[in-house]
């Protein structure tokens, strides 16, 4: 058997232990990441996969819609092409700038060399010299992680260790393939496990391999890590967010209400209040006040739902009505028709979280719009830090402006349009950094205010006696 074929076989076998069928995902890990608490400020430090601002945006969305009263705040502290030693160098001026009490650490893609070291990966039969260099890269990663963890410990900051996402060696593509790269990422993860010492820990790599293998069995050209084998799209970022939330023992329940129409009784009201129940002549109505909003259903959610069970695992707002006579019933939420359901389906429970007519879903989408706007403001800050990292040194704002102006003149002489654009944005945004920071704070307050649920009037009646047409159900 050729070495390349053997490698691919071993990679498939490594993931097969996690795969149990087309509808399943990796087994939920034991709770290993502390649940967030009121007042938490969590910084996510890492490389481009963090800087892109996606997986932790989904985690923020969950904690904001599910627990709006906690007001947990997040900060993106990723830098493109960064390493652990880069995080150490910018610890005070960037990662700890807002004084977070928790720091989630997602380094390893670059430290291992997986993303760029052509001298270490790509060959089907690496010799001992190459293997030793791989081990040295992992050893340096461990030493730098020890330094970073010690610095956080000195400051009383709780680390959350994230096993990095995958380098996709198995996607069928013309893109360059650094064979063996993910094995070095996994070696870094093994070092993390020995360093965690009670810290929060979750591995993104193994579950992503499982999802990748399952999807590629049907579509070999698909890659959970994106077309370049490194940078995930929404599907991959949702797998990462899902694993983080499950490591926190995240509840799938937005709220749950169960009533008995025949007895006129409320049997269950989990994370919600139910009042003014009326049940007579085949009609049921009551006031429903959830304490949480569902996760917003947007394009990213729908793409994530194609590879992982977001709705079943994290987004269940259950309405159960027992004791109805056989037949179909129209469900109205605040007088908007949410669809028609047979009595037996209502008795088993209907998930209203993703229904367009659900006022909670509409409110969640308003929250999502603010979260997306906030992410855009954070992106401006990350671009500032990115440009500064390329200029090197701990310069003052004025010194960075002078250096950027010099580099812009050089870029214009060379007609380097990419650098002209980046440096122009840098020169425009750096003097506005304080106002951008303030806009992020203002948006957070608007997000937490918008995330507070409101009372909903729930009504059920025989389908023949209800007005209007069923609303479109956007469930993926």
Edge-to-edge strand order for the sheet containing 265-270? 265-270, 253-260, 316-322, 350-351
Closest by alpha carbon to 315, among 330, 298, 338? 298
Residues 212 and 267 in one domain: no
Q: What is the pLDDT of residue 30?
A: 57
Where does 67-204 have alpha helices with state H?
A: 84-89, 128-154, 181-195
Closest by alpha carbon to 362, among 286, 253, 453, 459? 453
Q: What is the pLDDT of residue 18?
A: 30
Residues 32 and 131 in one domain: yes
Question: How many angstroms separate the CA atoms of 393 and 402, rounded?
Answer: 14
Closest by alpha carbon to 365, among 458, 300, 457, 288? 300
Question: How many angstroms separate the CA atoms of 84 and 458, rounded?
Answer: 52
Per the domain annotation, does 8 fall within a domain? Answer: yes
Q: What is the pLDDT of residue 110?
A: 97
Residues 22 and 163 in one domain: yes
Residues 94 and 218 in one domain: yes
Question: How many angstroms separate the CA atoms of 114 and 50, rounded?
Answer: 16
Give the chain's domain count: 2
Q: What is the pLDDT of residue 137?
A: 97
Q: Give pLDDT tens digits along the chain (476 positions).
A: 443 343 334 333 333 333 333 334 444 445 799 999 999 999 999 999 999 999 999 999 999 999 999 999 999 999 999 999 999 999 999 999 999 999 999 999 999 999 999 999 999 999 999 999 999 999 999 999 999 999 999 999 999 999 999 999 999 999 999 999 999 999 999 999 999 999 999 999 999 999 999 999 999 999 999 999 999 999 999 999 999 999 999 999 999 999 999 999 999 999 999 999 998 888 999 999 999 999 999 999 999 999 999 999 999 999 999 999 999 999 999 999 999 999 999 999 999 999 999 999 999 999 999 999 999 999 999 999 999 988 877 788 899 999 999 999 999 999 999 999 999 999 999 999 999 999 999 999 999 999 999 999 999 998 864 444 444 444 45
Per the domain annotation, does 327 fall within a domain? Answer: yes
* 429 burial via Cβ count (<10 Å: 0-12, 13-18, 19+): middle
Residues 196 and 50 in one domain: yes
Residues 76 and 165 in one domain: yes
Q: What is the pLDDT of residue 393?
A: 72
Per the domain annotation, does 113 fall within a domain? Answer: yes
Residues 238 and 258 in one domain: no
Per the domain annotation, does 438 fall within a domain? Answer: no
Residues 24 and 119 in one domain: yes
Q: What is the pLDDT of residue 281?
A: 83
CATH of the domain at 76: 3.40.50.1110
Question: How many angstroms separate the CA atoms of 195 and 141, rounded?
Answer: 12
3-state DSSP assignment of residue 138: helix
Query: Are the CB atoms for 329 and 341 separated by under 8 Å?
Result: yes
The angle subtended at Cα 298 by Cα 292 and Cα 301, nearest 5°, is 85
Cα–Cα distances in Å, from 35 out to 32, 252, 371, 475? 9, 14, 21, 28
Which residues have C-beta within 8 Å of that of residue 35, sequence separation ≥ 6?
Answer: 248, 249
The dihedral over CA atoms of 450, 384, 41, 28, expressed in degrees to the nearest 10, equals 90
Per the domain annotation, does 449 fall within a domain? Answer: no
Per the domain annotation, does 231 fall within a domain? Answer: yes
Cβ contacts of 266-272, under 8 Å, gap ≥ 24? 267/320, 267/322, 268/320
Residues 46 and 191 in one domain: yes
Instruction: Dig out the tokens for 225 from the structure.
Output: 């890590």
Instruction: Dig out the tokens for 22 from the structure.
Output: 């087309």
Closest by alpha carbon to 367, among 74, 76, 44, 57? 57
Per the domain annotation, does 271 fall within a domain? Answer: yes
Q: What is the pLDDT of residue 464?
A: 63
Residues 164 and 144 in one domain: yes
Q: CA neighbours within 13 Å on the CB side: how many for 425?
A: 15
Single pTM value for the model: 0.89
Residues 268 and 328 in one domain: yes
3-state DSSP assignment of residue 331: strand
Residues 82 and 123 in one domain: yes
Per the domain annotation, does 443 fall within a domain? Answer: no
User: Residue 316: which domain range?
Assistant: 253-287+308-351+454-465
């Amino acid at each position: 058997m050729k070495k390349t074929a053997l490698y691919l076989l071993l990679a498939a076998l490594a993931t097969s232990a996690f795969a149990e069928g087309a509808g399943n995902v990796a087994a939920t890990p034991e709770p290993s990441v502390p649940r967030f608490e009121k007042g938490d400020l969590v910084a996510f430090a890492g490389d481009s996969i963090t800087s892109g601002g996606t997986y932790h945006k989904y985690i923020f969305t969950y904690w904001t819609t599910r627990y709006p009263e906690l007001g947990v705040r997040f900060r993106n502290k990723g830098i493109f092409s960064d390493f652990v030693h880069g995080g150490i160098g910018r610890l005070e001026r960037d990662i700890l700038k807002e004084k977070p009490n928790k720091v989630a650490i997602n380094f390893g893609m670059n430290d291992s060399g997986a993303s760029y070291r052509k001298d270490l990966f790509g060959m089907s039969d690496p010799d001992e010299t190459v293997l030793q260099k791989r081990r040295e890269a992992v050893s340096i990663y461990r030493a730098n992680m020890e330094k970073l963890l010690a610095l956080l410990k000195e400051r009383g900051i709780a680390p959350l260790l994230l096993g990095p996402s995958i380098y996709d060696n198995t996607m069928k593509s013309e893109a360059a393939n650094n064979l063996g790269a993910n094995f070095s990422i996994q070696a870094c993860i093994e070092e993390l496990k020995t360093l965690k010492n009670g810290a929060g820990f979750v591995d993104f790599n193994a579950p992503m391999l499982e999802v990748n293998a399952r999807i590629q069995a049907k579509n070999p050209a698909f890659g959970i890590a994106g077309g370049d084998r490194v940078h995930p799209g929404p599907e991959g970022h949702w797998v990462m967010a899902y694993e983080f939330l499950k490591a926190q023992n995240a509840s799938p329940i937005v709220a749950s209400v169960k009533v008995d129409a025949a007895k006129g009784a409320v049997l269950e009201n989990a994370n919600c209040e139910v009042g003014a129940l009326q049940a007579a002549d085949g009609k049921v109505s009551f006031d429903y006040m959830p304490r949480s909003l569902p996760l917003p259903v947007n394009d990213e959610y729908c793409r994530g739902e194609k590879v992982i069970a977001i709705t079943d695992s994290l987004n269940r707002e259950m309405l159960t009505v027992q004791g109805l006579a056989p037949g179909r019933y129209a469900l109205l939420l605040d007088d908007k028709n949410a669809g028609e359901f047979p009595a037996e389906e209502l008795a088993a429970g209907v998930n209203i979280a993703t229904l367009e007519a659900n006022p909670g879903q509409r409110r969640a989408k308003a929250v999502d719009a603010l979260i997306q706007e906030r992410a855009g403001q954070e992106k401006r800050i990350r671009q500032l830090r990115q440009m500064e990292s390329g200029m090197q040194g701990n310069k003052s704002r004025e010194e960075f402006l002078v250096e950027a102006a010099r580099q812009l003149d050089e870029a214009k002489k060379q007609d380097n349009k990419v650098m002209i654009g980046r440096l122009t944005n840098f020169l425009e945004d750096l003097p506005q950094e304080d106002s951008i920071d303030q806009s992020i704070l203002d948006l957070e307050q608007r997000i937490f205010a918008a995330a507070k649920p409101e009372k909903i009037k729930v009504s059920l009646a025989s389908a023949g006696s209800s007005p209007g047409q069923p609303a479109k159900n956007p469930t993926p």
